[in-house]
Structure 1
Amino acid sequence: MKKDLFNGVVKYTAAGFMLGVLLIIIGLGLSYAHGFKGSWFHIFQFAPNFVIIIFSPIFLSLLSYFIGVKTEQLLLSNREIKESLVLQQINNSAADIQLKLLAKVVAQVNESIVISNGRGLVEWINDGFTKNCGYTLEEVKGKVLDDILHGPLTDKKVAKSILEKLLRGEAITEELLIYHKDGSTIWLALSIKPICDDTGEIVNFIAIQNNITDRKLREISIESLYKEVSEYKFALDQSAIVIIFNNTGKIIHVNRKFCEINEMAEEELLGKDYRAISISMRNKTVVKNIMTNLQDAKIWKGELINRNSNGTSYAADTTIVPLLDARGKLHKFLVIQQDITERKELEIELMTNKNKLQQAMQIAKLGSWEKS
């Protein structure tokens, strides 16, 4: 552009200079027509303004230079304006195309998109909102969504927290249970952002809502199952000894009751070979019988003798459950035991008393026979 400006100015300057030269030639011609045939002095006699004409190339060159500069600047400015307008039209056209494309995308996404004004009144919703919540634009326009979507099971504390944060101009991300038009409950993941003007005043809210009902139901189900398992575990820990050992016989989990009966801390027991505690498991015949069942993925039940850290033995009614990995291979064993030492001692005592009674009866019969 600068080169074009320079070339244009040079052309105007050259034209002015040529015009000045032409005036000199015309002046000379006029002087000659009036009888100029002598010295230069006669030029001023027949053409008194010829001095001015002599300097006219300079004057006209300067004048044409300034005219050329202004003209070229004006042309350049007009050219820039035209280019700017063309570029703006191209940008506007591209922006229109992008807006139309964006409108199509926004209208067809599964997520709900809601635009409301600074007072929280709905101005626009997409088709995703209608699919997720059941309401059309005509049904919600100019209304506050909280009055439509919230119900008895909606968490009032979460809803209040969302409102307070938005009024402070904070963007929020929350999960909230709301009500569908048909009365059913659904879970939405909410992402709401306030839009402010140049003065900082909130003029709009843009909300993106994602239906996460399936995920929340799974989470609630898993949480309920975890709670149930925790309760079973608590009940089991209160009444039974629980040990888990791996394929090599190393203990990888024990419960509190097992630690108490063995008078050892959990850290001392983890990694220890289970056979170091179970006397019965040192018997190859017993181990073979147990492992035969377990390797066939069968549960083994029986009585084992364990020994705690102070050397005291105790009898344990034992159930060993084989645990399979995702590929169906044995990788851990769950042991559930009940301390039956007192019962075994009572059985032994009863057996001893029974034997004594039988002996006494035999002696009594023998005495009766001798007497007769």
Structure 2
Amino acid sequence: MNTTRNQLSFAVAIALVASAATFVFDISTPRGIAAAMPYVVVMALGAWLPKPRWVVAMALVLGALTAGAYLLKPSGPHEQFGILNRILTLCGIAVTAGGVVWKLRLESRVAMERARQGELLNLGVAIVALDMAGRVSLVNRAGCELLGLPESEILGQDWVDRFVPEAERVRVHEALAQVRTSGRTLIETTINPILAKSGVREVAWYNLPRLDEEGRVIGTISSGSDVSEQARAEKALKRTYKDLADINYALDQSAIVAVTDAAGTITYVNDRFCEISKFSREELLGRNHRVINSGTHSRQFFEEMWRTIAAGKVWRGEVRNRAKDGSHYWVDTTIIPFVDDHGRPFKYLAIRSDITARKAAEQKVAEQAALARLGEMAAVVAHEVKNPLAGIGGALQIIGSRMPAGSEDRLIVNDMLDRIKTLDLMVRDLLVFARPRPLRRVSVEISQLLRDTASLLTRNPEYTQVEVHIDAAEGGADVDAEQLRGVLLNLLLNAAQAMNAKGRIEVQALLRDSRWIISISDQGPGVSPEAREKLFQPFFTTKHRGTGLGLAIAKRVIEGHGGRIELQWPAGGGTRAVVTIPASGE
């Protein structure tokens, strides 16, 4: 600022002195004398002025002095030459002033360009300019710092051969050639590695064509930022994503996974969940887990589970679920709550493993242990109870036959015979369960077998008010007719007793995919959730009188046929027994 002011003061002083001296010299000469040309020389002093407007002002002043001095001068010889001299002088002043103004503007533009270049070179990003041959013609301080080399070791170097890894050279050559030949900016930022002194660095480059004054491409200029840390972080993030994807894949392959929101609505299920539940993903999303509730567990069981996970704690347990086709499966379940900053769960992740086979094996072991105990007991019962019972029963029949018909004593004897008969049936059940006989398969018509079995129930005087409705498809099966009839009769008896020997039993038999599906439904009150898990266990019964072996025997017989038996409890009430057996004996 002070330099400009001093330069202006000095130039004005010189111009004033020169102008005054020239004017005095000019006014003292007669017209026609060529004394005006020094004004042009004085105008040349305008080159010292810092701004074009001062040059224009000086030109106007000198022009006025040139014209005014001529008018004030006395007449002289060759006056016509004086007029021509003045015209030439004014033109000289104008041309000189124009040249000085052009010079000043050019200097200003050069200064601005240098300032812009200085700013460019001092930017925090690396700047590298290449000529048409790809050699470095300019590099700023940030570029030197990025490469770790002084400017002298960078300028003149072939950029691609010296600073680009070999694997990337062809691609970088093509990109720079595209900028040079098309003259267009590469809009997309490209990330290319460079060979710096400290090693390979990842740099994000933005490439531009470099033009001369006539707009011709003379090379390229590129700005770059070191993104090595960002690139490493992105690679680490990608590795993390890959690891998570691998973990997720492994989890999907080995576990049954579901995610719900805080309200328990299913938002994600994996393929294994769909496979074991037999529901499609579309049928599960947006619903809750009640869709697979088997009814096995009590309400208190699930309330305790929800209390645990709602408190942000992990819950573990074994759950029996119901698939879409009605079959049941067991899962070992772990539910992990995801909590927000306030400790409130906002979603739940459930990881399950299929333990159906393990539960079946455990049940099988328990049954085998019970069978072992029963085998020992059966031997004792056969020798110590069954034969004496037969003797007692025969003796009572003889005594009863000698009593008058209708006498009170005879009624007591008959009641005793009924009790002995019941005890004999219990002993028979024990022997059947403890010593099962091999299957003797024959081909039977399923619909006829059902009708014959139903007639055994309806002919019993105790069940005259029970109606059995049968809807059975035509077709046969290779089964042990006697044992299967015993199973079906046991299920019909259970249904009739559940309705207190009064009501309607629905029997349906369908042949689907070479398997018979036989269902027996009653209109009774159903079974409590606590008892449902134990119904197939030996010696467990919900009846006032009974051995608790009927369903256990039925399960073993059906499984011996290669089928399965299960109990269901429809939402409308009652109990449904479903028996599935193959149509062939394979």
1:236-264 Cα shifts (integer Å, max 9, x gaps): 11121110000111111111111222223
Equivalent in the alignment of 1:115: 129
Question: Taking structure 2 as the reference length, what is the TM-score of the superposition?
Answer: 0.46
Which residue type is aligned with residue 130 of structure 1?
C
C-alpha contact 2:266 2:289 (8 A) present in aligned 1: yes
Q: 1:357 to 1:192 in 2, by over 3 A?
A: same
Which residue type is aligned with residue 163 of structure 2?
L
Q: 1:330 to 1:295 in 2, by over 3 A?
A: same
1:168 aligns with 2:181: yes
Q: 1:282 to 1:129 in 2, by over 3 A?
A: farther
Q: 1:85 to 1:309 in 2, by over 3 A?
A: farther
Question: SS at the partner of 2:366?
Answer: helix
Q: 1:161 to 1:255 in 2, by over 3 A?
A: farther
Matches within 5 A, 1:85-234: 88=102, 91-92=105-106, 94-151=108-165, 154-156=167-169, 158-166=171-179, 168-169=181-182, 170-172=184-186, 173-182=189-198, 184-196=199-211, 202-234=217-249
C-alpha contact 1:278 1:304 (8 A) present in aligned 2: no
Q: CA RMSD in A?
A: 3.6
Question: SS at the partner of 2:374?
Answer: helix
Query: How far 1:271 sits from its partner (Å)?
Result: 0.7
Query: How far 1:121 sits from its partner (Å)?
Result: 0.8
Query: How far 1:194 sits from its partner (Å)?
Result: 2.4
Count of residue pairs brought into register by the alignment: 307
C-alpha contact 2:258 2:269 (8 A) present in aligned 1: yes
What is the distance in 1 between the residues matched to 2:296 and 2:125? Answer: 61
What is the distance in 1 between the residues matched to 2:343 and 2:269? Answer: 24
Structure 1 residue ranges without an equivalent (≥5): 16-66
1:314 aligns with 2:329: yes
Which residue type is aligned with residue 241 of structure 1?
I
What is the distance in 1 between the residues matched to 2:152 and 2:222? Answer: 18
Equivalent in the alignment of 2:11: none
Q: Does 219-228 or 321-330 show the bigger shift?
A: 321-330
C-alpha contact 2:160 2:169 (8 A) present in aligned 1: no
1:16-55 Cα shifts (integer Å, max 9, x gaps): xxxxxxxxxxxxxxxxxxxxxxxxxxxxxxxxxxxxxxxx
Which residue type is aligned with residue 263 of structure 2?
T
Structure 2 residue ranges without an equivalent (≥5): 1-59, 72-82, 386-586
Matches within 5 A, 1:224-303: 224-279=239-294, 283-303=298-318
1:357 aligns with 2:357: no
C-alpha contact 1:281 1:287 (8 A) present in aligned 2: no
C-alpha contact 1:301 1:318 (8 A) present in aligned 2: yes
Query: How far 1:195 sits from its partner (Å)?
Result: 2.6
What is the distance in 2 between the residues matched to 1:87 and 1:198? Answer: 20
Query: How far 1:102 sits from its partner (Å)?
Result: 2.4
Q: Does 331-340 or 318-327 show the bigger shift?
A: 318-327
C-alpha contact 2:180 2:220 (8 A) present in aligned 1: no
C-alpha contact 1:249 1:275 (8 A) present in aligned 2: no
Equivalent in the alignment of 1:60: none
Q: 1:211 to 1:78 in 2, by over 3 A?
A: same
Which residue type is aligned with residue 373 of structure 2?
Q
What is the distance in 1 between the residues matched to 2:119 and 2:296? Answer: 68
Aligned identity (percent) is 24
What is the distance in 2 between the residues matched to 1:76 and 1:268? Answer: 96
1:258-307 Cα shifts (integer Å, max 9, x gaps): 12222232222111122222446984322332233223322211111222
What is the distance in 1 between the residues matched to 2:279 and 2:285? Answer: 10
What is the distance in 2 between the residues matched to 1:280 and 1:89? Answer: 98
What is the distance in 1 between the residues matched to 2:287 and 2:355? Answer: 24
What is the distance in 1 between the residues matched to 2:289 and 2:181? Answer: 61
What is the distance in 1 between the residues matched to 2:254 and 2:269? Answer: 14
Q: 1:90 to 1:322 in 2, by over 3 A?
A: farther
C-alpha contact 1:155 1:176 (8 A) present in aligned 2: yes
Query: How far 1:162 sits from its partner (Å)?
Result: 2.3
What is the distance in 1 between the residues matched to 2:141 and 2:178? Answer: 27
Q: 1:199 to 1:100 in 2, by over 3 A?
A: closer
Which residue type is aligned with residue 260 of structure 1?
E
Q: 1:359 to 1:261 in 2, by over 3 A?
A: same
What is the distance in 2 between the residues matched to 1:328 and 1:189? Answer: 42
Q: Does 143-152 or 109-118 show the bigger shift?
A: 143-152
1:72-117 Cα shifts (integer Å, max 9, x gaps): 99959955973x5565455445434433432342232221101121
Q: Does 94-103 or 265-274 show the bigger shift?
A: 94-103
Q: 1:329 aligns with which of 323, 331, 344?
A: 344
Structure with larger Rg: 2
Question: SS at the partner of 2:349?
Answer: strand
What is the distance in 2 between the residues matched to 1:264 and 1:77? Answer: 100
Q: Higher relative CO (CA 8 A, sep ≥ 6), structure 1 or 2?
A: 1
Question: SS at the partner of 1:138?
Answer: helix
